[in-house]
Amino acid sequence: MKIDIPKNTWISEINLDFFKEGFWGSAFGLTVGFTGNACPGLDFVAEVIEPLSKLSLPKRKIVRFKGFYHPTDPMMSTVVKAFRDWGFMVQAIIGGDAAYEWTDKLDWVVLKIEKPFAPFSANEIWYCPPVQDPLPEPRLPPKETLLYIAKGYSMAATVKFITSSDKNWNLL
């Protein structure tokens, strides 16, 4: 269910729905999509984010951030803290090579990578390499992590990747 929000350049969308991928797939929660621009200000946070705390949600309240994040947006730490104070488990899907200063404040981090390298530890890694055969196995941090490889590769390439790896991979 799409949540109506004021037109802005910070948040592209907010949805209340079942998550479709990863460990939390099929859990019900909020998804907040960010555009990569900085927050317009604290008043905007109060106007848009605070009403979300009053939505009807199951006992386990989850909010998942996705999209693009401004590298130095100071409001992201404020938003993470606010959701945690309201009793939410705060997750973020982070793409690429960047960890943000607020990443360590999250309850659950999903790192989505295309290159065969995971630059930092996360709770889940979603590996989405370009189509090639064989699919290269990524170098991973030593921390135990839930590993997923994207769908869309040939069955032979996927099976070869999963069976030749010394890690336990799941299909995303």
* Cβ–Cβ < 8 Å for 89, 61: yes
Q: In angstroms, rounded to a whole number, what is the distance separating the alpha carbons of residues 28 and 94?
A: 20
For residues 156 and 109, membership in a common domain is answered with no
For residues 8 and 27, membership in a common domain is answered with yes
For residues 104 and 27, membership in a common domain is answered with yes
For residues 104 and 130, membership in a common domain is answered with no
Whole-Å CA distances, 11 to 44, 57, 63, 105? 10, 21, 14, 20
Number of domains the chain is built from: 2
- Of 125, 121, 129, the closest CA to residue 112 belongs to 125
For residues 24 and 70, membership in a common domain is answered with yes
Residue that the structure tokens 């099929």 belong to: 26
For residues 172 and 87, membership in a common domain is answered with no
Residues 71-94: tens digit of each pLDDT: 999 899 999 999 999 999 999 999
Structure confidence at residue 132 (pLDDT):
82
For residues 85 and 6, membership in a common domain is answered with yes
Strands 88-95 and 61-68, sheet pairing: parallel
On the question of pLDDT at 44 being above 90, the answer is no
For residues 54 and 40, membership in a common domain is answered with yes
Q: In angstroms, rounded to a whole number, what is the distance separating the alpha carbons of residues 73 and 69?
A: 8
* One-character DSSP codes across 115-167: SSB--S--SEEEE-PPS-SSPPPPB--SS--EEEE-S-S-HHHHHHHHHH-SS
Whole-number percent of the chain with pLDDT over 90: 77
Mean local confidence (pLDDT), 129-149: 90
Structure confidence at residue 98 (pLDDT):
80
Structure confidence at residue 76 (pLDDT):
95
- Min mean pLDDT across 46-60, 110-124, 135-149 is at 46-60
Q: Can you give the pTM of this predicted structure? A: 0.92
Q: Which of 113, 132, 148 is the last residue of a domain?
A: 113
For residues 68 and 1, membership in a common domain is answered with yes
For residues 82 and 125, membership in a common domain is answered with no
Q: In angstroms, rounded to a whole number, what is the distance separating the alpha carbons of residues 76 and 81?
A: 9
On the question of pLDDT at 96 being above 90, the answer is no
Mean local confidence (pLDDT), 154-163: 93
Structure confidence at residue 106 (pLDDT):
97
More confident residue, 47 or 33: 33
**Residue 114: pLDDT band by 50, 70, 90 thresholds?**
very high
Phi, psi of 15 (to 5 degrees): -130, 150
For residues 70 and 97, membership in a common domain is answered with yes
For residues 39 and 107, membership in a common domain is answered with yes
* Structural domain harbouring 170: 118-172
